[in-house]
Amino acid sequence: MPTFTINGISLDVPEGMTVLQAAETAGIEIPHYCYHPKLSIAGNCRMCLVEVEKFPKLQIACNTFVTDGMVVKSNTEKVRQAVTGVLEFLLINHPIDCPICDQAGECGLQIYYMKYGLHRSRFAFEDKVHKKKVQDIGGQIILDAERCILCSRCIRFLDEVTGTSELEFFQRGDHSEISIFPGKPLNNNYTGNLADICPVGALTSKDFRFKCRVWMLRGAKSICPGCANGCNVEAHFKEDILYRLQPRRNDKVNQTWMCDPGRLEYRKANEGRLLTPAVREQGGLKAEAWEAALSAVSFRLWETVEKSGSDSVAVIASPAFSNEELYLTRKLADEVLRTPNLGFSPRTSGDGFSDDFLIKADKNPNTRGAQLLGISGEKFEDIVRKISDGEVKALLVFGNEIADFPEEKTGELLAGVPFVVQIGTNEGSVFRAAHAILPSASFVERGGTFTTHEGRVQRFWMGFPPRGNARSGIEIITGLANRLGAGWKFAGEASVFRAIAQSEAPFSGMSYESLGESGQIAGGKG
């Protein structure tokens, strides 16, 4: 392990580390644009210059590898002047766009200008080279070519990650310009990542731009609910509106990337939400207080069991719910309603598209969790048959749709059940057929864990309290169970997870602390 010194601090670093990476481990920032931890080294922005003892000239930290005994300085006047000079050079032809640029607030040029620049421009405004602005280049991206600093991160992403190579530099000198090839727009499922990795406002998100200034947003660590891959994300919100999802680094799951469909999953937390408990009376929905709605639903469930037996009640669980909620769903079915009719509803959403990178055909975040908790997918077919045969008199449906059934099929199926309760987040085919609605919190309005397709149990955190009068699934299930005499004393998701870790073998020994931010494989380590 080489020992090297930076700004007087001695460090032992792993073999093969660059000076820039080693400095990061010591908490020393070396400014950079073209370096990205998950892309090859280009070394073209020249912002990361440092002094290396015995080298006559400044070196770029992103492509200088640490050797034993190396002495580096990043805080000298010589380095400061060089970095300021590079920044001035990069800004020579940059437009005066900050007030109208959607990158403002998270722009690498703004940030480094304040830290390392603060120079007066020596370049006349009218001499700036202008390039094309506001171009829709396909996917989720708008290109503003004159804001580009030619760092090539976007080109390397499309060459090395998606392998689709849609972007390239054209022209020479200060007329160099990033662009797609004529008539060949971005054509891959990961275009949104370009807006994340572009350090300036050249590539911005078509969906997010001009919706909200970034300094007004707060973030919560979360998991994309769009498929079984469980990409780690940061959910950005203002008050109770979710504005965007951005990938959060987890080298064991998604590195630093996420797919385009997953990026738009945030919309479901805002649109068509169920926000207040309601019961259907004479064809119309009547809003109810939680106490009244939970009492009415639990009374109907009790009455059905009394009159027609436990077998006449069925529960369709949802693999979009957390491990904690699924565990309580199983307890409700097994121990309180004592019904054998519990299964989860599989869902692929449309064509069930998948690829060999991140996107999985299973469009649920927690199918594996449901399976590991002993909730069967096969049982679902059995429940559907019993409903069709008129054997089910009361049905609890978790989620907004039943499997991939079209609206009419769900309507026909549920029309035969005298009492249908939906515990879900959004309007949909179940909502239109349900007799009682118990609105549940979206993924950013509650905390818990999901289990990925490979069995990795990962935490997601609450960003803001449930919108309107919605409640977490844990509160709703516990509310029903206790009205039916269960006497449960769960206080939030942590207490439910402790119970899971104690009683469910695949989760044995896990805790929220041991899961940390990158998760743990159920039944093993890693």
Residues 210-239 that bind ligand FES (CB under 6 A): none
Query: Can residue 35 be called a binding residue for ligand FES (CB under 6 A)?
Result: yes
259 binds, among ligand SF4, ligand FES, none (CB under 5 to 8 A by kind): ligand SF4
Nearer to ligand FES, 45 or 70 (CB): 45
Query: Can residue 367 be called a binding residue for ligand SF4 (CB under 6 A)?
Result: no
Query: Can residue 150 be called a binding residue for ligand SF4 (CB under 6 A)?
Result: yes
Query: Can residue 42 be called a binding residue for ligand SF4 (CB under 6 A)?
Result: no
262 binds, among ligand SF4, ligand FES, none (CB under 5 to 8 A by kind): ligand SF4
Instruction: Report the residue from 2, 138, 261, 377 that binds ligand SF4 according to the rule CB under 6 A.
Output: 261
What is the distance between the alpha carbons of residues 93 and 82, in angstroms, rounded to a whole number?
Answer: 19
Nearer to ligand SF4, 151 or 336 (CB): 151
Which structure tokens are listed for 14? 């792993």
Question: Considering the complex, what minimum distance in angstroms separates the CB of residue 34 from ligand FES?
Answer: 3
Q: How far apart are the first and last CA of the chain?
A: 24
Nearer to ligand FES, 34 or 274 (CB): 34
Three-state secondary structure call for residue 441 = coil
Query: Can residue 45 be called a binding residue for ligand FES (CB under 6 A)?
Result: yes
Radius of gyration of the chain (CA): 27
Nearer to ligand SF4, 196 or 475 (CB): 196
Using alpha carbons, select from 209, 218, 207 the residue that is nearest to residue 265. 207
Which structure tokens are listed for 393? 């008199």
Which structure tokens are listed for 81? 């002047």
What is the distance between the alpha carbons of residues 96 and 116, in angstroms, rounded to a whole number?
Answer: 19
CA distances from 400 to 99, 180, 410 (A): 42, 40, 11
What is the distance between the alpha carbons of residues 192 and 414, in angstroms, rounded to a whole number?
Answer: 39
Instruction: Report the residue from 13, 19, 22, 32 that binds ligand FES according to the rule CB under 6 A.
Output: 32
- Give the angle subtended at the CA of 477 by the CAs of 472 and 480, to the nearest 5°: 130
Using alpha carbons, select from 90, 129, 147 the residue that is nearest to residue 113. 90
The DSSP-derived string for 344-362 is E-----TT----SSS--S-
Query: Can residue 180 be called a binding residue for ligand SF4 (CB under 6 A)?
Result: no
Query: Can residue 33 be called a binding residue for ligand FES (CB under 6 A)?
Result: yes
Sign of the CA dihedral 160, 161, 164, 170?
Answer: negative
Three-state secondary structure call for residue 219 = strand
Instruction: Report the residue from 23, 107, 154, 402 that binds ligand SF4 according to the rule CB under 6 A.
Output: 154
Task: Tell me how long the chain is.
Answer: 526
Q: x/- string (CB under 6 A) for ligand FES, residues 51-90?
A: ---------x-x----------------------------
Three-state secondary structure call for residue 327 = helix
Using alpha carbons, select from 498, 503, 499, 490 the residue that is nearest to residue 515. 498
Residues 108-147 that bind ligand SF4 (CB under 6 A): none
Nearer to ligand FES, 199 or 343 (CB): 199
HEC per residue, 128-165? CCCCCCCEECCCCEEECHHHCCCCCHHHHHHHHCCCCC
In this structure, are residues 154 and 69 in contact, taking their beta carbons and an 8 Å threshold? Answer: no
Instruction: Report the residue from 23, 48, 293, 433 that binds ligand FES according to the rule CB under 6 A.
Output: 48
- Give the angle subtended at the CA of 452 by the CAs of 424 and 371, to the nearest 5°: 70
* Maximum C-alpha span of the chain: 91
Question: Considering the complex, what minimum distance in angstroms separates the CB of residue 133 from ligand SF4?
Answer: 13
Question: Considering the complex, what minimum distance in angstroms separates the CB of residue 510 from ligand SF4?
Answer: 21
227 binds, among ligand SF4, ligand FES, none (CB under 5 to 8 A by kind): ligand SF4
Nearer to ligand SF4, 202 or 421 (CB): 202
Cβ burial of 390 (10 Å; 0-12, 13-18, 19+) is: exposed
Instruction: Report the residue from 109, 202, 220, 421 that binds ligand SF4 according to the rule CB under 6 A.
Output: 202
Instruction: Report the residue from 79, 203, 333, 462 that binds ligand SF4 according to the rule CB under 6 A.
Output: 203
Query: Can residue 428 be called a binding residue for ligand SF4 (CB under 6 A)?
Result: no
Residues 219-258 that bind ligand SF4 (CB under 6 A): 224, 226-227, 229-231, 254, 258
Please state the separation of Cα 392 from the chain's center in Å. 37
- For residue 482, give the H/E element and its range: helix 473-483
- Residue bearing tokens 């594996």: 368
Question: Considering the complex, what minimum distance in angstroms separates the CB of residue 243 from ligand SF4?
Answer: 16
Residues 335-364 that bind ligand SF4 (CB under 6 A): 358-360
229 binds, among ligand FES, ligand SF4, none (CB under 5 to 8 A by kind): ligand SF4
Please state the separation of Cα 133 from the chain's center in Å. 30
Question: Considering the complex, what minimum distance in angstroms separates the CB of residue 368 from ligand SF4?
Answer: 13
Question: Considering the complex, what minimum distance in angstroms separates the CB of residue 202 from ligand SF4?
Answer: 4
Query: Can residue 34 be called a binding residue for ligand FES (CB under 6 A)?
Result: yes
The two beta strands, 313-317 and 278-281, are unpaired
Per CB under 6 A, the segment of 31-39, 115-123, 324-332, 441-449 that binds ligand FES is 31-39
Question: Considering the complex, what minimum distance in angstroms separates the CB of residue 310 from ligand SF4?
Answer: 37
What is the distance between the alpha carbons of residues 360 and 227, in angstroms, rounded to a whole number?
Answer: 6
202 binds, among ligand FES, ligand SF4, none (CB under 5 to 8 A by kind): ligand SF4
Nearer to ligand FES, 32 or 236 (CB): 32
Three-state secondary structure call for residue 56 = coil
Query: Can residue 43 be called a binding residue for ligand FES (CB under 6 A)?
Result: yes
**Binding positions for ligand SF4, rule: CB under 6 A:** 148-154, 178, 197-200, 202-203, 224, 226-227, 229-231, 254, 258-259, 261-262, 358-360
Site residues (vs ligand FES, CB under 6 A): 32-35, 43-48, 60, 62
